[in-house]
């Protein structure tokens, strides 16, 4: 180690020791903090945690690159990490993998360490770059990395994980479609090879984990979610035991148990759970080229081969918003959302439209923005998909006025949410992060005097 490197390493160690000492000095009691101050502490600690997570991953990657654990302890780094109580065996292997990824993408690591992007965003970017790497030369790889760091300014970790088409379209526009199809096909083949299902006995329970190819996995999730939604409605109608709380994970487990008990009899809820291919084409183009383009749900890409297989037994829905093939506005003639409108809502909103919520469409409810009881019609421009929690948050009270969230559909078809005045006095609208537009900045919370 050179003299300069030794000084830098010692400085890093000194900084980490100072951080640890500072954590030791934090007072455990915060009873006098206002709600606004508590939220500021949550934001600040989250930023600190994200930067420390990235730094830890980079240090692990650097230690792995020089085979430090093997030289010092005679064991691989993943085993060395698992010797203590901090990492489980699985966590240690994941940490080493993330470290290797960040060390291989220094621009991403630097942005994450500086706090410009979060740890989750860095992980997603690394996975996409590693997936695209074999198809790009070194200059294109560098351009893709710079592009994705820029995208992280308005895309969250999940959206970044799905941004490969956007990256290819800008880095290699001529060959983007062919490269994307090749990449998707490789993913399909890899998923098929890695399919698995394992069971473990633990006391009075059976624990299991595994991996399914995407198409089959989506069918499985849709079937479980449809059954879980049915069980939830039944429980509400039956007015179950007061105070009994069932988590979403428990409800999904109940759904699987119910399906096992009624194997061969369970059916998906109409319009929910079954495979649907939503294609943005007019009717004539749809008939001529439906086998060549499409989406699962709202945002998941599939290869042409997968799409052709899906179209053999899936319901194919043309998303003709003003055509004669689907009636998307039933006005005041019906209160319940028709399958046509439901399909259009799924295509437009994808899932719960509330900012920060990623609940899937099959678990969401269609909310009338102007309530039916107040003259609102069952039309696309008066509807938005919301999960059960955010539906209750948005639903206006029939009697009385309360300071609450509101929603409206803008001219471009995107839902905007207006926060309550207690959160933002100016009530500036907020949009959900989306790959099609920049996010409207979330206003800082008001400092409460309570």
173 and 262 both lie in a single domain: no
pLDDT for residue 204: 82
Domain that holds residue 420: 350-431
> What are the pLDDT digits (tens) for 199-237?
888 888 888 889 998 878 888 888 888 888 777 766 665
pTM, to two decimals: 0.57
127 and 171 both lie in a single domain: yes
Give domain status of residue 438, yes or no.
Answer: no
Give domain status of residue 26, yes or no.
Answer: no
Given a cut of 90, is residue 423 above it in pLDDT?
Answer: no
Give domain status of residue 29, yes or no.
Answer: no
289 and 395 both lie in a single domain: no
Compute the average pLDDT of residues 8-20: 88
Count structural domains, the chain.
4
Compute the average pLDDT of residues 12-24: 90
How confident is the prediction for the chain on average, in pLDDT? 76
261 and 380 both lie in a single domain: no
In whole angstroms, give the CA distance from residue 429 to residue 277. Answer: 32
242 and 180 both lie in a single domain: no
Compute the average pLDDT of residues 27-37: 86
183 and 41 both lie in a single domain: yes
Give domain status of residue 421, yes or no.
Answer: yes
Give domain status of residue 235, yes or no.
Answer: yes
411 and 292 both lie in a single domain: no
In whole angstroms, give the CA distance from residue 123 to residue 155. Answer: 13
Given a cut of 60, is residue 72 above it in pLDDT?
Answer: yes
Give domain status of residue 329, yes or no.
Answer: no
180 and 260 both lie in a single domain: no
* Higher local confidence (pLDDT), 203 or 107: 107
Of 92-101, 121-130, 172-181, 292-301, the range with the lowest mean pLDDT is 292-301
Give domain status of residue 284, yes or no.
Answer: yes
* Higher local confidence (pLDDT), 262 or 280: 262
* Higher local confidence (pLDDT), 191 or 289: 191
Compute the average pLDDT of residues 94-109: 89
171 and 108 both lie in a single domain: yes
43 and 152 both lie in a single domain: yes
313 and 386 both lie in a single domain: no
292 and 247 both lie in a single domain: no
pLDDT for residue 333: 58
> What are the pLDDT digits (tens) for 265-289?
544 444 444 455 554 444 334 333 4
Give domain status of residue 202, yes or no.
Answer: no
In whole angstroms, give the CA distance from residue 349 to residue 37. Answer: 33
Give, in order, the Cα–Cα distances in Å from 107 to each of 5, 57, 149.
Answer: 20, 14, 8
Given a cut of 90, is residue 357 above it in pLDDT?
Answer: no
């Amino acid at each position: 180690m050179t003299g300069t490197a030794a000084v830098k390493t010692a400085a890093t160690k000194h900084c980490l020791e100072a951080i640890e000492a500072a954590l030791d000095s934090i007072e455990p009691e915060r009873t006098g903090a206002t709600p606004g101050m508590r939220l500021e502490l949550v934001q600040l600690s989250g930023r600190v945690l994200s930067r420390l997570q990235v730094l830890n991953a980079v240090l692990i990657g650097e230690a792995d690159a020089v085979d430090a654990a093997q030289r010092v302890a005679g064991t691989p780094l993943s085993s060395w990490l698992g010797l203590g109580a901090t990492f489980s065996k699985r966590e240690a292997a994941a940490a080493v993998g993330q470290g290797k990824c960040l060390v291989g993408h220094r621009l991403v690591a630097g942005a994450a360490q500086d706090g410009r992007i979060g740890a989750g965003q860095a992980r997603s970017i690394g996975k996409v770059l590693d997936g695209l790497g074999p198809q790009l030369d070194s200059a294109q790889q560098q351009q893709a990395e710079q592009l994705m760091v820029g995208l992280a300014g308005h895309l969250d970790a999940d959206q970044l994980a799905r941004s490969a088409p956007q990256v290819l379209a800008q880095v290699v526009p001529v060959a983007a479609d062919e490269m994307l199809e090749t990449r998707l096909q490789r993913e399909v083949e890899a998923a098929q090879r890695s399919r698995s299902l394992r069971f473990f006995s633990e006391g009075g329970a059976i624990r299991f984990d595994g991996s399914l190819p995407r198409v089959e996995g989506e069918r499985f999730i849709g079937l479980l979610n449809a059954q879980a939604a049915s069980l939830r409605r039944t429980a509400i109608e039956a007015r179950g035991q007061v105070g009994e709380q069932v988590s979403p994970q428990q409800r999904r487990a109940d759904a699987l148990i119910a399906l096992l008990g009624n194997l061969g009899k369970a059916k998906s809820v109409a319009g929910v759970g079954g495979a649907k291919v939503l294609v943005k084409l007019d009717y004539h183009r749809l008939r001529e080229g439906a086998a060549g383009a499409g989406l699962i749900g709202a945002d998941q890409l599939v290869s042409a081969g997968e799409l052709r297989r899906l179209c053999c037994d899936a319901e194919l829905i043309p998303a003709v918003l003003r055509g004669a093939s689907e009636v998307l506005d039933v006005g005041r003639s019906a209160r319940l959302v028709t399958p046509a409108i439901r399909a259009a809502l799924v295509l437009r909103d994808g899932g719960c439209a509330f900012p920060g919520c990623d609940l899937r469409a099959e678990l969401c409810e269609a909310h009338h923005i102007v309530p039916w009881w107040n003259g609102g019609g069952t039309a696309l421009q008066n509807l938005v998909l919301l999960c059960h929690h955010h539906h209750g948050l948005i639903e206006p009270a029939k009697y009385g006025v309360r300071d609450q969230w509101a929603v409206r559909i803008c001219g471009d078809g995107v839902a905007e949410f207006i926060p309550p005045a207690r959160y933002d006095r100016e009530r500036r609208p907020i949009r959900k992060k989306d790959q099609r537009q920049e996010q409207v900045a979330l206003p800082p919370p008001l400092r409460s005097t309570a």
